[in-house]
A and B are shown apart, each in its own frame.
Chain A
């Protein structure tokens, strides 16, 4: 993308006012999407984003500038701007010698999306639409969307690091509306992996479409969700977002460092029920949050955050790790070259236990069974978090019974972690997610086995 000698000179420019650290992050991203909605191929979109972000760190201050101009002139102008923003003190010249590092993601992309005819992408959408509509007369609207991205990045910094990565992601989503006597209900299913068009060898879009349609149809008969505290059983693969919100964000070192996490100062302490092991793992092959290197050039890692109930470590990016005199954990990520990196999750999951999923439900007298969760949100400083249930049922006398309407569940992270009293032996990763933090979205994965929380507040309207 950029010649090595140019990068060296740009880093030199970035440091000419006396910065402690400088970095060039260059990105070239092609993306394409296709939308089938309302019975028609509504549109195909192609996009190209290419540019570089340059940061200069002086003490605790970071200056940042970005440019879409990858010529040496454009890069040096951005480097000047970043250096000025950081307002370094003394002058001086530094030469940066770069060492090219290689990192492999351990598997190959089989079919690059740009090598696939657009007609083939459109054909998948039409099939999904047809199957979803055939699932029931009550299905009144269907939209199906396809998206891919091919992102090449180059990261070089004044520590001499030079690393590159080439990432391909493919995503497919089906959303249905079902209409009945009680109004409209929706069902959505998506699948996404860090792979090329071979996604569709791994996943059957017709099956995905049927599941989305069935979710909407099931909810037509749904009763209002209950209101109040009760046991909640979360289905395998359906609820990783629970841990993403209940503890994931609170274990991000930037928030911890500002005292904005209920988990600050708690490394080494028991924070969760015995048997609860939470991992953030950027190396998981083909998962949505997979990385070869993070957006600061650090090789992706598998990091155990909570080990058998004990908090072992936070997640780190370059700056926060440098301040603490330790290594980054490979969690420095950014939405694009136009953004500064910060501590972000990759694939966050809870390891399986030994309980039988059927036994977990059977031993629950009354509660809610959440088959599928939507998004969530957390206040890391208080630990209070919410997450939405997009498919859920009542549990009555140890059996899953009637479907309930959508709503949020609310809990407090540190409390919920100690209220997990059953872990199934049926771990599965869930659908692809986009994690938002400080206005930046990045792709993340999550996964859980079937599990039970002894008490969570269900935010419905029924007594």
Chain B
């Protein structure tokens, strides 16, 4: 199958004019999404999609176009449109496609035929079982907002006039459920999920008990009073926090004057407990991949080690401009040119369980979930403020639930205020892993 995508890429690249660099990104995917409600299939979507993105660099100018089809006539049209777009761009001596750099792609096994052949009826059974398990988990579970099984089979080829000829494919699936618990007329919600490369990896019982546990333990939650305190971030929350830190370490943010950490290489930017690694070659990562968005091999990049800033991530353009080499960190879909970003970040874990961290903290707050990271966090200024819900920590144990409050600090301070990293590392359905993280001196705004 993938040979076909490479062949399409070859056909586009063969149309390059003399002196012109051309890149074709060709993707195809098959996605299935099954939602169930009250034991019945609410919707089942099964759809194949495909597309091509074409980038042209000529005379130091870059243009791009895409089409959501692999029709032969669309390929030439898309190339012509990209070429025309390039003529309006400002020349930039650092522009250019990736060039093979000799780094061998990691041998990752991300494709499972077992997912491709798994019958739709069995997928439905998994989703129905998930919903049943959530509803049975606790008598206070009053309903579900969504219970779903989702999978995807994806393949991508990148071909360039500069000698890149990369192809990759992978499979992935997950179960997710959003449950509601009700008691004395009050409703609380909780989610649970399970992620894998093939259906056999999925654990519906775990997803269900997580969702039910998260929803029921918030019942009776009150608005806490404002104060400064120590918080334990749940792995799910930590992973979202790491995603924001990832933005500040992008070579593009640095070069364009939008990173807090520009000019800070070699400095102490975090607590000595913090070692932050971006490693898309870790097969356990949901977003693992052996090739980046320009077709270069991905690699393990240590960004912060023992609190000291080591490295920014780069694609070919930002690397050339910064006088360094690509870290294999070009990120993109077929509808855009490559950006730069972390792909699979994680903190080097400690050894303590969440319960041990809670005991060490003594008095504080466990943050179970956050809301509004996109609206209350500014990765350029570093201002951090987010809605939150969770459980108070009293006498080293989880105590009463709390909701409708915010926690706030700045990204700069939060990295320094880390006082413990948990050992409970888990990969989540996103581009980061999570681990329980203890931060001191965070402002809680409530009643």
Q: Residues of A at under 8 Å CB distance from B?
A: 34, 37-38, 40-51, 53, 59-68, 81, 85-87, 118-119, 122, 140-141, 177, 179, 183-186, 219, 225, 227-229, 255, 258-260, 262, 338, 340, 374-379, 381-382, 384-388, 405-408, 410-412, 438, 457-461
Contact = CB atoms under 8 A, between A and B. Distances in A.
A375 B64 CA distance: 29
Contact of B45 (A37, A64, A381, A386): A64
Given A44-B88, A260-B143, A375-B375, A64 B47 contact: yes
Interface residues of B, number: 79
Contacts of A382: 187-189, 403
Nearest to A57: B43
Contact of B372 (A43, A260, A375): A375
Interface string B365-408: 00000011011101011110111010000000000000111111
A459 B406 contact: yes
B201 interface: no
A43 B68 contact: no
A186 B378 CA distance: 8
Given A68-B69, A179-B257, A457-B446, 20 more contacts: A44-B88, A45-B65, A45-B336, A68-B68, A118-B85, A186-B378, A229-B446, A259-B142, A377-B374, A379-B189, A384-B389, A386-B386, A387-B375, A407-B383, A408-B406, A411-B404, A458-B445, A459-B407, A460-B385, A461-B409
B40 interface: yes
A406 B376 contact: yes
Contact of B381 (A53, A62, A122, A405): A405
A379 B84 CA distance: 46
A87 B50 CA distance: 26
A85 B376 contact: no
19 contacts: A44-B63, A44-B64, A45-B85, A46-B81, A47-B68, A51-B69, A61-B40, A85-B45, A184-B260, A229-B447, A259-B180, A260-B143, A381-B189, A384-B389, A386-B406, A388-B376, A408-B376, A459-B405, A459-B407
A374 B443 CA distance: 21
Nearest to A86: B44
Contacts of A184: 257-258, 260, 380-381
B62 to A, nearest CB: 5
A387 B372 contact: yes
Interface in B73-92: 74, 78, 81-82, 84-86, 88-90, 92
Contacts of A385: 371, 387
Contact of A260 (B46, B65, B85, B180): B180
Contact of B337 (A45, A48, A179): A45
A57 B190 CA distance: 30
B114 interface: no
Contacts of B44: 61-64, 85-86
